[in-house]
Each structure stands twice: as C-alpha cells, then as structure tokens.
Amino acid sequence: MHSTAAPASPTLTHCPYCALQCGMGLAPDPQGDGGLAVVERAEFPVNRGALCGKGRTATAVLSSRVRLTEPLIRTHATGRLEPATWEEALDRIAEGLSRTRTEHGPDACGVFGGGGLTNEKAYGLGKFARVVLGSSQIDYNGRFCMSSAAAAHQRAFGLDRGLPFPLEDLPRTGCVILVGSNLAETMPPALRYLTELRENGGSLIVVDPRRTKTAEQADLHLAPRPGTDLALALGLLHLVVAEGRTDEAYIRERTSGWEEARSAAMAHWPELVERITGVSVPELREAVRLFCDPEAAMVLTARGPEQQSKGTDTVGAWINLVLATGRAGRPLSGYGCLTGQGNGQGGREHGQKADQLPGYRKLTDPAARAHVAEVWGVDPESLPGPGRSAYELLDALGSDIKSLLLMGSNPVVSAPRAAHIEERLKSLDFLAVADVVLSETAQLADVVLPVTQWAEETGTTTNLEGRVLLRRQAVEPPPGVRSDLVVLHELAARLGVEKGFPTDPEEVFEELRRASAGGPADYSGITYRRLVEEEGVFWPCPAPEGTEYGAAATAPSAPVTPLAAGDGEDSALDPAPDDPASADTAPHPGTPRLFLDRFATEDGRARFMPVTHRAAAEEPDAEYPVLLTTGRVVAQYQSGAQTRRVAELNAAAPGPFVQLHPELAARIGVADGEDITVVSRRGTAVAPARVSRSIRPDTVFMPFHWPGAGRANTLTHPALDPVSRMPEFKVCAVRLERAETR
C-alpha cells in the first residue's frame, strides 16, 4: 500500500468493478501500514454488505507496487518506455494529437474510453473529443457490453435503462428467466436475489449452453446450442400463442405491432426449434408453464444473447415474449438487462458512445445538438456527427485514424480478433494511454499517464438499476498520479481550449446536470448532496421546471476563453447546497420503476419487433467443427488488467483454460489438465483442458481475462450486429488439437 494517510473512520463508497456497484466502507488497515481495508456496508440495499473476492481485495491495486506512479514516454534512443515528467508527457500528447489534426484532419484523431470511467470522466472525454479535437471518432468498450440490449430497449420501449426496476423486485416476482448470465461468478452478491425468489415460491429458469453454478440453482436449465437464443425465444412465444396464454387486453391497450411479431413467431414451431437449439419440446413447454402460470414474471438477459451478430433481434424476441404475456410496465414484472461494467450504463449516457450526447441525446437530433452546444458554449454546427462504433474504430487505426487517446480500456485483450487489433494499435502514428496499471495496451503506447483510481477520487457512477451513486475519495493518490479530469484539462489548454474542462468532479457533475436536463437520461434533479444523504437516486430525475437546472431554464456555460491561473483545481468533497431556486420546491424522488403508466415512445405504447431466427456469422464445418463461446470466472474481471495483479485472485484463477465435454476430449485424445490448441480462422490459443459434463458436447468454453498464448479473443469473430454494432463474441467455429501436435 502507499503510505498516504487513511481516514480515521470508514469512508462510504462503492466497489470499482461490476455494475452492481456494491456498497463498501474503506477504513484504516488494521495491520497499520497506512493503507486501507475493505469493511462491510450492510445498509446499502444492493448488496447488503455482501462482497465477492474481487471487492474484498479491491484495495490491493492501490499499492504502488502494482500500479503506475509516474508518466512514461517511449524514447527514440531505446524504443522503450522511460520515466518522464508530467509536463513532458502532456506536451508530447498534445504535439501528437495536434500534428495529426493539422496533417490529416480532426477525424484522424480517435478517442477510446471505458465503461469503468465515472460519469464525470465519461462526460469530459466526450466533450474533449467533440469540442477540443473536433473529432467524431469516439467510442468505448461499453459497446462490447450491452449495446444490443440498449438498441432493443430503444426499439421496444423508447428508452434504455438496464433494469427498469430495482433488484429488490426480483425475489417478489413469480418467475425469472435468466438468459446467458452466470451471476454466481459474474455478480456473486446478486445471486441472493434468485435464492430468495425460490425461497418465496418463485421459479428460476436459466438459459445457458453450460451448466454453470447459476444454472445449478435453477428449477429448469435450458442448454441451447450457442447462437440459437433467438430461435429459443421465438419457440417459447409460439407456444404461448398456441396455448392461449397471451394477454390480449394488455396487447390491445399498451402495445403496437403484435400481428407482425405473432406471425414471425408462429413460423418457429416447437419441433423446428428443438432441431435448431437442441432444447427438447417438453423443456420448451415446461418453460412456458413456469413463466406464464404466475401473475408476475421477468426476463433478464446478459452477454450470452447480446454478444451476437443478431443480438438486438435476439433481445427483441425475449422482449416480445414479455409483452405478449402482459408483463412489461407492471409491478414485479418486466424485461431487464444485467449491465456488466461498473459504469457501463452511465458511460454511454453522457457522451462516450459514437452517436450520443449527454443525457442520452441523439447526436443526429438538431434540438439535442443545440441544447448541449449551448451548455458547452459552442456553435451547434461545430459539433461533429456520429462516428465509428468501437470495433470499427479500432479496425481503422493506422489507416483513417492516425492517433489515439485511450482511457481506461485494454483492447489488446478485450477486443474481438485481438491479434489484428493489436497490430492496428502498433500501426498508429501516435498512441497515448491513461490508466491505473501498465496494461497490455499501455505497453504499446508512445505515452502512458498514471491516473487516479476509485478510492483516490470522488465521482459518480450509475449501476445496472439506473441508480446514480457517489464514490467518495478515501485517500490521496501517490505522488506523481493525477486524475483523468486533470489530464483532460491540461490537454485541452495545450490544444487551445483553456476553459470548460474543470478538474473538480462536482463542478463537472453540475455541468452534466445542465447538459442532461430534459433528455431521456435526465440527471438535472440529482446533486452531490442528495447522493451523500440518500442511497443513490434513480434516473430520470428532472429538476423542477423553472429552477436553475430545470429543462426550461438551462443556462449555458461561459464561452470558451482562457482560464485564469489557479482556476479549476480539485476541491475536497463538501456537498454544495441544492439549487437555491428550488428551495421551496420538492425535489423529484427519482424513478426506480419505469413504464408503469406509459412507455417512452411517442404514443406511449411498447412496440413489438417482428424478428426471425438466422444463423450465426460463422457456423461449424468440416474444417472447424466445434463451437467456441467465451465468458468470465469469478476471481478475474474483464481483461484482467487489475485483478491479475492481486495475489489472492490469481491463486483462485491462475490462468486460462478450455472447458470441453468428455466425449469431445476423448475424440481428440486429450486428458484433463493437458494443453489443448484451439484454432479459428483468426488465430490460435493454447490452454489446459478442463474436462467437464457441464458443457454441451459440441461446444467449448474459454474465459477471456488473459493475454498471451491463452488469449481467448484471438479466436473470436468481429461480425457486427447491424443495429448495435456489437461483435459476435459468443459464438464462432473452431477446431481442437492436442498442443504437442503443432
């Protein structure tokens, strides 16, 4: 641990990892080394004190032994990254971006963000790309998370929020269908909600090609062939119609487009669906019974059905099932998506996504452009249009995009067709990375900046429920480490924009409130004071009309002018009073449950989407006869850049593996623990075999947390969903070989 003073009493904050954003306290380490220890925060409603191993060990990454503490610059003399001063590093980044912009135009400068950045950082990064660089080329790794579900939400409901109801509703519903999620390993504290559901007499159906720890808890486990979730959902809807289980009054009063969706579903009769998915007709009928018999029920999806080249349609098919049975927009019922990354929800709401402005406004909407431009103090015409999605942006590196500023992401490990993306990163004229650790991507950079992390800074995140939370600073960062907000402020000044990029997170959040006011994701009624006093506030939460931050009274920022010396310095968290103008007006309570009265569409009706099953982009053949699917293990997180630096987590999950069925293992002659080579059309990975009957005989599974020879994303397919631009991580064709044969 670094030796800066820890707080005398626990600082209430949130875990830096997944989208549960579990509540925790940070207290002085009882070992007395000046560091921090994680303590229980039982009163926070999401996790009620429970933490997984990642949360319990989160302070280990604060140690100066495992993280970056000084800027690095690649020198011409040695070609290696060498220590440098902050002034040298920032000057070098500004020079690289400025040269690219002058020689090739603004869109030759790319910006790539991360779903772990706070709302303030995500907002600042989007503003930096569009106002300072004038570039449309910005996206973030959250595109790889739940973009298909977001697109389906928008199409069906007119609004995207991961869960339109709080997690506390899950145990009180009658049935949950969990599609493509292994909560026991990805979000362990959330598993208690499903345990309580069953204790209360409800049913759990898990859809997953593997019999995971979560599937073992289910009343019914459906194990479809990877890439066939769409056919499965259509088959269930077919049976709902055939058995007369539709809610005709609800369909008539609250939806549109039913006849077209019904006709599409009826083309997927049970026997056909059994042939496509491998799920038997009796299992299909049992799933319909469990889902339809109770008065209330829910469907929750995660990366399994979403990370496909037809992910938007697949999620749409599950939403159709919810709508046809009258479950959306009713108490204890509905459809929701389990967001993965810590701030995957807020990260796309406020400007990192290629086609969105703060407040979840569309970049192509003239009124949205005018509103945000007024807040930013710029001409709406100066704002660039939509840019490339995440994979398309990465694929364009070195050709159309010459320089890249990257914050909080590690695409060398996390991107599909990762070896190709690694080559694209190497082909750049200039790469700058701001991160907590020297990730595999940072190792390729021309400049690396060491930035603060969760316990060393204050900022807001938005969890999977749409609950806006305040992470509070517990310790000072080590000497030589600065905030991403300071980085954006300093780079903007060097590139000619000396005002408009404050370094105080609360000041940034106040501007974000104005920018979001009146938008779909309206945060204007949320203040730091409220977040200190309450256990989070659910958006949308508008400020009262006519108050300082009300939609009808949004004030613009000051024009872009030089910043006086000393302005914009970080301040300690001291919650400012709520808007004086709203002192006599009751604040909006926030919106824990959406759509109870109407949906967010123009006519207030939810929209059915007529969808039909289609094959994955790459199906098995004689040369590549096996399906690969990927996912996570409990002790590691995302690309592993941080968790792989924690000894306890590495002891629990030391490296990659290939899970395969005994029949498949016998066919290629590999025993448990022996190295196995997995080959796709994009590359090769080698890892130990883990032989198990918990997976289909036609499928292998690899976790994606590791670089090097066992990098699962060397193999994965970059085929994109036509709507969400989500890559097809979850299914591709591979062949298996004993490692020693190559």
CA–CA gap between residue 688 and residue 711 (Å, rounded): 12
Closest CA to 408 of 111, 48, 191: 111
Q: Starting at the edge strand that comes first in sequence, how are the strands of the sheet with 459-462 ordered?
A: 459-462, 467-471, 537-538
What is the chain's percent helix, strand, coil content, to nearest 5?
35, 20, 45
- pLDDT score, position 342: 87
Task: Look at residue 589 and tell me whether its pLDDT is greater than 70.
Answer: yes
Alpha helices (runs of H) in 572-700, residue ranges in sequence order: 647-652, 662-668
- Residues 97-139 pLDDT 10s: 999 999 999 999 999 999 999 999 999 999 999 999 999 999 9
Task: Look at residue 564 and tell me whether its pLDDT is greater than 80.
Answer: no
Tokens 């973009």 locate to 147
CA–CA gap between residue 272 and residue 541 (Å, rounded): 46
Radius of gyration of the chain (CA): 25
Residue 571 φ then ψ, to 5°: -120, 155
CA–CA gap between residue 363 and residue 142 (Å, rounded): 18
- pLDDT score, position 490: 98
- pLDDT score, position 731: 98
Q: What angle do CA 221, 225, 228 make, to 5 degrees?
A: 100
> Can you say whether residue 402 is alpha, beta or left, with left for phi > 0 and alpha for psi between -120 and 50 degrees?
alpha
In the structure, what pLDDT confidence band is assigned to residue 556 with cuts at 50, 70 and 90?
very low
- pLDDT score, position 33: 67
Question: Which residue type is seen at 465?
Answer: E
CA–CA gap between residue 79 and residue 656 (Å, rounded): 31
Task: Look at residue 658 and tell me whether its pLDDT is greater than 70.
Answer: yes
Task: Look at residue 639 and tell me whether its pLDDT is greater than 60.
Answer: yes
3-state secondary structure 597-619: CCCCCCCCCEECCCCCCCCCCCC
Task: Look at residue 559 and tell me whether its pLDDT is greater than 50.
Answer: no
In the structure, what pLDDT confidence band is assigned to residue 554 with cuts at 50, 70 and 90?
very low
DSSP 479: T
Residues of the chain with pLDDT > 90: what percent? 89
266 to each of 234, 240, 276, 510, 614, how far by Cα in Å?
A: 8, 10, 15, 51, 15
Q: State CA 46 to chain mean position distance.
A: 18
Lowest mean pLDDT segment, chosen from 202-211, 344-353, 669-678: 344-353
Task: Look at residue 168 and tell me whether its pLDDT is greater than 50.
Answer: yes
- pLDDT score, position 568: 31
CA–CA gap between residue 93 and residue 482 (Å, rounded): 15
3-class secondary structure, 381: helix
Contact criterion met (CB below 8 Å) for 364 and 330: no
In the structure, what pLDDT confidence band is assigned to residue 561 with cuts at 50, 70 and 90?
very low
In the structure, what pLDDT confidence band is assigned to residue 566 with cuts at 50, 70 and 90?
very low
Q: What angle do CA 333, 337, 338 make, to 5 degrees?
A: 115
Contact criterion met (CB below 8 Å) for 537 and 526: yes
Question: Which residue type is seen at 413?
Answer: V
- pLDDT score, position 550: 64
- pLDDT score, position 4: 45
Task: Look at residue 85 and tell me whether its pLDDT is greater than 70.
Answer: yes
Contact criterion met (CB below 8 Å) for 479 and 452: no
Q: Rounded mean pLDDT of the chain?
A: 93
Tokens 């790459």 locate to 618
- Residues 308-359 pLDDT 10s: 999 999 999 999 999 999 999 999 999 999 988 889 899 889 989 999 999 9
Closest CA to 606 of 363, 338, 321: 321
Within 13 Å, how many C-alpha atoms sit on residue 515's CB side?
A: 30
Average pLDDT over residues 518-531: 96
Domains and CATH numbers, the chain: 72-144+344-466+473-504 (3.40.50.740), 151-338 (3.40.228.10), 626-741 (2.40.40.20)
Closest CA to 409 of 386, 384, 433: 433
List b or e across 130-150, with b for residues whose CB sees 16 or more CB atoms inside 10 angstroms: bbbbbbbbbbbbbbbbbbbbb
- pLDDT score, position 32: 64
Task: Look at residue 235 and tell me whether its pLDDT is greater than 50.
Answer: yes
Average pLDDT over residues 158-178: 97
Average pLDDT over residues 293-307: 97
CA–CA gap between residue 405 and residue 355 (Å, rounded): 18
Average pLDDT over residues 192-221: 97
552's CB contacts (< 8 A; 6+ apart) are: 518, 545, 546
Residues of the chain with pLDDT > 70: what percent? 94
